[in-house]
Amino acid sequence: MLHCMKKAITLGFISGFLAVLIFHQGTAFLLNTYANGMPEVVAWIGRTGVPFNMNATAPLSVPTVISQAFWGGIWGIVLASIIRFTAVPDLLFAFLFGAVVVTLFAFTVVATLKGLPTFAGGNQQTWLRAGLLNGAFGWGAAFLMRPLAIRG
């Protein structure tokens, strides 16, 4: 059992970290590069900021994208543990986990800690955009876990 938990922790962190850099930020890149020029998409999800934000974030002054990837690794551990020890359909579950759980956590706990309005101040475009980006993260993390045999 201890070996199983070590595997979920290690592979979950790595998969989550990489999923932020590849899938979350990749989706942000596509939205920023292409969707921002499509009025129909902007009407639904608003404008997407520049991906791979290198601005320093408090309290450690690391680049924002590295902070996001670290927290993606933490969420990856949670996701890997769920996938490893339950029979959920991994890709669908992981997308929904990212879109709903990670987004709700960001809109409540993280927003409160940062002194921001909870639930993005009710901005539904931000909800949809965050759900899409965090869903892409979750799907990507589960996808990266597949060849690592997280269930094995």
Residue with tokens 């690592």: 148
- In the chain, where the domains are located: 2-148
Question: 49, 52, 47, 48: which is closest to 21 by C-alpha?
Answer: 52
pLDDT at 148 over 80: no
Q: Taking a C-beta distance cutoff of 8 angstroms, is the pair 141, 79 a contact?
A: yes
Per residue in 83-99, pLDDT (tens digit) is: 988 888 999 999 999 99
Residue 14 pLDDT greater than 90, yes or no:
yes
Q: What is the pLDDT of residue 151?
A: 60
Q: How confident is the model at residue 147, as a pLDDT?
A: 82
Bridge-partner residues for 56, per DSSP? 63
